[in-house]
Chains A and B, each alone.
Chain A
Amino acid sequence: MKWSPRIIFIVILMLGLGVVPLLADYFGEPFYTVMFSRMLILSIGAVSLNLILGFGGMVSFGHAVYLGIGSYMVGIGTMHAVEDGIEWMANGFLQIALAIVFSALAGLVIGAISLRTRGVYFIMITLAFSQMLYYVAVGNEKYGGDDGLSLYMRSDFNGLIDISNDNSLYYLNFVCLLLSLYLSHRLINSRFGMLIRGAKSNEQRMRAIGFPVFRYQLVAFVIAGTICGIAGVLSANQTEFVNPSVMHWTHSGELIIMTVLGGLGTLFGPVIGAVAFLFLEEFLSGITEYWQLFFGPMLVLVVIFARGGIDGMLVGLDQWWSRNSPVKNEEVD
């Protein structure tokens, strides 16, 4: 691996994320652990979205649905455990397993119908499905309806990991993020990933070669949804609160923003994007109550001028670096 500004930046970012709780404890600001924990969870969501959006070119505008499914698995399980004394329902492993099953099922159904359409229709139909599930959650009075559910305890991992402590939850999130990054690295560089990427750049050709593109895209869609469902489980434990707004379409929009802001179709782009997004939110809302007045136009400017996102800028920096580094210039001469 060659060291370049971009690689150095990513290494520092990941190492930095690894020591956040230690620093936060050292400076006596535990608030930052919680804030960065949110960044990690949304990073997982954005990494999963990036699989289909960045590498597969499928603009899913309903990805927050899986966050919601994962969250509600925790919310419903914990509610039964606390109110009806069914203790096994608060088991974290079970909740994750259920989140995986239901997210995969939802992904399968949504994907099977949506992937029949293309372009703007695909965007709209994924949006419609997410709204549908949003209204299911709103209308379901038994599990909190519009108000949502407050969690009186976090998931129980058989005493293996005690996530009632913010720091250990942080590291659970961190490990999950690393796993999702590793998984997506393996996926996009596999034969499967090549196919998905090939279908993005020229679907007709892929089909002409003889690949059943639909099936591959559907599998990618399901995998992305499943990873995001796990992020939902973590998210519910983080906020200790579940409500339908986690599935709201604006939340899906935010996931897309994070992915694009960081850099579409790059491995670490979504992580950079999620961190940058939440930092901006935190920073701007600290300055003014009307922070979206600045955030909105910023988004427009990023779309118009910085097409590769932050990662794209880093690549640009790399090129500038290699042009101007003295060693390189001598070689060229």
Chain B
Amino acid sequence: MNWTLLLEQTLNGFQFGILLFLLAAGLTLIFGIMDLINLAHGSLYMMGAYFAATFIKWTGSFLLGAILAIPACMAFGMIVEMIALRTLYTRNHLDQVLATFGLILFFNEFVRLIWGPIGLDIPLPEVLNGSVELFLGIRYPAFRLVIIAVGILVAFLLYLLVSRTKLGMLIRAGASNRKMVGALGVNINLLYTFVFGLGAALAGLAGLMAGPIMTVEIGMGEGILIITLVVIVIGGVGSIKGAFVAALLVGLIDTVGRSFLPDILGIFFSNDVADTAAPAISSMLIYLLMALILAFKPQGLFPPRGA
């Protein structure tokens, strides 16, 4: 066993988990409060990456571009919510799945029309491009550390927002009984639009941070959307705490599994079998985890109260 590699992969898994959390937090909030399955959440992630790539090119500054991309993504999400999704809140899940699937098709073509079929890349500034020595000579890419730091900071801010502010109180109230919140004189439509915008901003943030690591391309949101759905289902749909735990769990298992499963299988089977079976099994790991968890806890790890 290579310990340096293990540490590196654990950090990578952590970083992936953080990205998943940023997506899952928005998705689970939207589901918990508006009771809406939003398959187009991955498209918001994609839009975040494309906005960032464009703004960074315009402004010539990574930080400025990134800062501009988040409100742009938020505004974009709010517009989508007002035009297309608002009528879907009272519909059944099947209708929501279908309509948001339609939105995915639309956004993919929209991006292809505007930005062209070829992927973009987001160049990193010098400061973030290098690697940092952690300890004992183990080096780790600086940008990935930034992702982890930003993610933890956002998770903390989100926690403060939801549990310590008046707005957070409304969000929690909306999640447990929206009719009552409306009856108490809260503009529930505005609250919904805001929550959706918040989710979009988080997805955009994930997208712009994933941009420099992976490529910015059409359909980049779909693969990660499915994993995010797995995360929120494992965590318990509607629970931010569940999303956080599940995101880290899934990120770690997926990343570490991919790099160490061939070795682990090699202990039990011949190398031949291990080499052919490992890629398939490691891509299946998180789905197996989900099936296992749902078989025992059909409501996920942290079922939201009142469900």
- Pairwise interchain contact B93-A120, C-beta atoms closer than 8 A: yes
Contacts A127-B229, A300-B103, A304-B87; A113 near B283 (Cβ below 8 A): no
Q: Is B196 an interface residue (CB 8 A)?
A: no
Q: Is the CB of A257 within 8 A of B101?
A: yes
Which residues of chain B are near A213, meaning CB under 8 Å? none
Interface string of A251-286 (1 = CB under 8 A from B): 001001100100000000000000000000000000
Return the CB mask of A112-141 against B: 1 if under 8 Å, else 0.
Answer: 010011111101110111011001101111
Specify which of B31, B222, B233, B284 is in contact with A125 (CB 8 Å cutoff).
B233
Given the interface pairs A125-B291, A304-B87, the reply to whether A295 lies near B237 with Cβ below 8 Å is no
Contact partner, B280, options A136, A298, A307, Cβ 8 Å? A136
Residues in B neighbouring A140, C-beta threshold 8 A: 276, 280
Contacting pair B294 A117 (CB below 8 A): yes
Q: Does B46 contact A (CB under 8 A)?
A: no
* Given A292-B109, A295-B102, A304-B99, also A59-B290 (CB < 8 A): no
Contact A138 B283 (CB under 8 A): yes
CB of A239 to closest CB in B, whole Å: 22
B157 contacts chain A at the CB level, 8 A cutoff? no
Smallest Cβ-Cβ distance to A117: which chain B residue = B298
Interface residues contributed by chain A, number (CB under 8 Å)? 44
Return the chain B residue nearest A249 by Cβ: B226
Asked if B260 lies at the interface with its beta carbon under 8 angstroms from chain A, I say: no
C-alpha gap A81/B169 in the complex (Å): 66
Contact between B98 and A257 (Cβ–Cβ < 8 Å)? yes
For B93, the chain A residues whose CB sits under 8 A away are: 59, 119-120, 123
Interface residue? B37 (CB, 8 A): yes
Q: Bin chain B's interface residue count.
A: 35 or more
B97 x A292 contact (CB < 8 A): no
Interface 0/1 of A293-316, CB less than 8 Å to B = 101111110011001000000000
Asked whether B288 lies within 8 Å of A132 as measured between CB atoms, the reply is yes
Known: A121-B299, A292-B109, A303-B99. A260 touches B229 (CB 8 A): no
Contact B37 A123, beta carbon cutoff 8 Å: yes
Bitwise interface map of B from 263 to 307 toward A, beta carbon under 8 Å scored 1, else 0: 000000000000011011101100110110011001110000000
A2 within 8 A of B: no
Q: Are A139 and B279 in contact, CB atoms less than 8 angstroms apart? A: yes
Q: From B87, which residue of chain A is reached at the shortest CB distance?
A: A304
Within 8 Å CB of B284, what residues of A? 132, 135-136
Interface string of B78-93 (1 = CB under 8 A from A): 0000001001100101
> How far apart sit A1 and B101, CA to CA, in the bound complex (Å)?
38
With CB as the reference atom, state the residue of chain B lying closest to A307. B95
Partner of A297, one of B95, B98, B102: B102
Distance in Å: Cβ of A276 to nearest Cβ of chain B? 14
Do the beta carbons of B101 and A128 come within 8 Å of each other? no
The answer to whether the Cβ of A191 comes within 8 Å of any Cβ in the partner chain is no
Chain A, 180-214, contact with B by CB distance < 8 Å: what is the 0/1 string?
00000000000000000000000000000000000
Jot down 8 A-B pairs with beta carbons below 8 A, ordered by A: A120-B31, A120-B93, A121-B298, A128-B287, A131-B226, A132-B287, A256-B98, A293-B113
Closest 9 CB pairs of A and B: A139-B280, A296-B106, A299-B102, A296-B105, A135-B283, A293-B109, A292-B105, A132-B287, A139-B279
Apart from A256-B101, A257-B98, A303-B98, 7 more pairs, CB < 8 Å: A121-B300, A123-B97, A135-B283, A292-B105, A296-B102, A296-B103, A296-B107
